[in-house]
Amino acid sequence: MSSPIIVFGSINMDLVVYSDKQPAKGETILGNSFETFQGGKGANQAVTVSRLGFPVSLIGKVGNDVFGNELLESLNSEHVDTSMVGRHEGPSGVAFIYVFEETSENQIIVISGSNEQVKSNQMPDKELSASDVLISQLEVPPSEIEDLFIRAKNTGTYRILNTAPGLKISKNLIHETDLLVMNEPELENLTERTLERQNADSIGQAIKDLNLSTTQSVVVTLGSKGAYVYVDQKGQLIEGYKVEAVDTTGSGDCFIGALASQYLESKDLLDSVNFANKAAALSVTKKGASASMPSMEEVVNFHQIT
Tell me which residue of 179, 166, 147, 37 sits closest to 94, measured CA to CA.
37
Which sign, positive or negative, has the C-alpha torsion 70, 122, 11, 222? negative
Residue 34 backbone zone (phi > 0: left; psi -120 to 50: alpha; other: beta) = beta
- Please list the active-site residues: 253
CA distances from residue 123 to 25, 69, 215 in whole angstroms, order as listed: 44, 21, 25
Is residue 270 classed as helix, strand or coil in its secondary structure?
helix
Question: Residue 289: phi, psi to the nearest 5?
Answer: -95, -85
- Looking from the CA of 239 toward its CB, the CA atoms found within 13 Å total 2
How many CB atoms sit inside 10 A of residue 107's CB? 11
**φ/ψ (deg, to 5) at 101:** -70, -20
